Amino acid sequence: IKLITTHQLQAMKERGEKISMLTAYDFSMATILDGAGVDVLLVGDSASNVMAGHTTTLPITLDQMIYHASSVVRGVKRALVVVDLPFGSYQGNSSEALRSAIRIMKESGAHAIKLEGGSEIKDSVIRILSAGVPVMGHLGLTPQSIYKFGTYTVRAREEQEAKKLLEDALLLEELGCFALVLEKIPSELARRVAEGLRIPVIGIGAGPAVDGQVLVSHDLLGITKEFKPRFLRRYADLHEVMTNAVSNYIADVKSRDFPSAEEAY
Query: Annotated catalytic sites, by residue?
Result: 183
Query: Out of Na ion, ligand KIV, none, which partner does residue 216 contact, by CB within 5 to 8 A per kind?
Result: ligand KIV
CB-CB contact of 181 with 200 (8 Å):
no
d(CA 72, CA 34): 10
* Per CB under 6 A, 20 contacts ligand KIV: no
Distance from C-alpha of 82 to C-alpha of 52, rounded to nearest angstrom:
20
* CB 46, min distance to ligand KIV, A: 3
For residue 252, say whether it is annotated as part of any ligand binding site. no
Residue 219 binds Na ion, judged by CB under 5 A: no
Find the binder of ligand KIV among 41, 81, 181, 185 (CB under 6 A).
181
Distance of CA 265 to the CA centre of its chain: 45
Q: How far is CA 265 from CA 133, 250, 259, in A?
A: 52, 21, 10
Distances in Å between the alpha carbon of 172 and those of 95, 113, 124, 146, 183?
A: 18, 14, 11, 21, 15
Q: Does 23 bind ligand KIV (CB under 6 A)?
A: yes
Write out the binding residues for ligand KIV, residues 78-117 only, by CB under 6 A. Answer: 84
Query: Interface with ligand KIV includes 45 (CB under 6 A)?
Result: yes
Instruction: With beta carbons less than 8 A apart as the criterion, state whether 138 and 117 touch.
Output: yes
136 binds, among Na ion, ligand KIV, none (CB under 5 to 8 A by kind): none
- Residue 116, annotated ligand binder? yes
* 84 has binding-site annotation: yes
> Are 171 and 165 a contacting pair, CB within 8 Å?
no
What is the 3-state secondary structure of 143-212?
HHHHHHHCCCCCCCCCHHHHHHHHHHHHHHHHHCCCEEEEECCCHHHHHHHHHHCCCCEEEECCCCCCCE
Of 55 and 160, which has the nearer Cβ to ligand KIV? 55
| Residue placing its CB nearer to Na ion in the complex, 47 or 105 | 47
Point out which span in 29-37, 44-52, 70-78, 191-199 binds ligand KIV (CB under 6 A): 44-52
For ligand KIV, the binding residues in 205-234 under the rule CB under 6 A are: 214, 216
Q: Enumerate binding residues for ligand KIV (CB under 6 A).
A: 23, 42, 44-46, 84, 181, 183, 204, 214, 216
**Which residues participate in the annotated binding site for 3-methyl-2-oxobutanoate?**
45-46, 84, 114
